[in-house]
Amino acid sequence: MTIEMKDASLALEGKGLFHNLSFVVNGGEMLCVMGESGCGKTTLLQCILGFQPLDEGAVSIGGTELTALSAEYMRSMMAYIPQEVSLPCNTVAELVGLPYQLRVNRNKRFSKEALMEEWQRLRLDETLYTKRLADVSGGERQRIMLSMAGLLDKKMLLVDEPTSALDVDSSLLVAGYLQGLAKHGTAIIAVSHDRAFAGQCDKTLTLKSPQP
Ligand SMILES: Nc1ncnc2c1ncn2[C@@H]1O[C@H](COP(=O)(O)OP(=O)(O)OP(=O)(O)O)[C@@H](O)[C@H]1O
């Protein structure tokens, strides 16, 4: 499903984050959003999720404009992996089950077998399943979250810094995993500082530093 941002402008607390920004990400494509810290990358994802209204311009999903009324429906077609999350659970097994408790995913059934196939692609060991989240590394947690998004098989995936805790090899592995999801038609927008990762994406967008 196509994600389009057209002539978008946004300032927060007097700081101009983007001005007349336009881009398109089609189903099957992966866009990497880059730019220095504080330039508005996470905020851009919030705009596409419909949590942050634009000052000017529009976001369209599949050709339909995102509005306060349509945002919830549009979000039901997206998976979002934030940079940092406080998770309301203690174990990996609980974490991977969480999305299935949400109303938007009521038509989906969790399958541990299918999850383990995703884990193989992401080189995650099956023994992680019974671990406490506190005993899982940052890089493992990132890949577990990606596997959860992959399993949900949404039309769009927004992911904030998917490789920030990974070495170059693992970062390329994650890029390859996301390319696999894109091949199935998912439109992917990934925020990243990681040049190796960005090199594997179909498109890159570098946000400018905020203007006072
Ligand atoms: N709700 C808000 N109200 C006011 N200012 C905000 C709000 N959300 C973000 N900001 C500010 O907007 C700017 C952009 O924040 P954002 O998190 O989008 O940056 P980023 O490019 O993702 O940064 P990083 O790479 O460090 O994660 C920052 O200066 C931030 O403090």
Single-letter code of the amino acid located at 19: H
In this structure, what DSSP letter does residue 115 have?
H
For ligand 1, mutation pick of 43, 49, 81, 163 (most atoms within 8 Å of CB): 43
Q: Where are the domains of the chain?
A: 3-206
Distances (CA, A) of 57 to 9, 18, 19, 142, 208: 6, 11, 9, 33, 18
Residue-wise pLDDT tens digits, 36-59: 999 999 999 999 999 999 999 999
Gyration radius from the chain CA atoms: 17
For ligand 1, mutation pick of 12, 48, 193 (most atoms within 8 Å of CB): 12
Distance, in Å, from the CA atom of 191 to the CA atom of 35, rounded to the nearest integer, reads 9
> Is the pLDDT assigned to residue 192 strictly greater than 80?
yes
Residue-wise pLDDT tens digits, 117-141: 999 999 999 999 999 999 999 999 9
Three-class secondary structure of residue 77 per DSSP: coil
The predicted structure's pLDDT at residue 86: 80
Pocket of ligand 1 (CB under 6 A): 12-13, 17, 35, 37-43
Supply φ then ψ for residue 81, to 5 degrees. -115, 105
> Residue 136, CB half-sphere, CA atoms under 13 Å: how many?
23
CATH fold, domain 3-206, is: Rossmann fold (3.40.50)
**5 pLDDT tier (thresholds 50, 70, 90):** very high
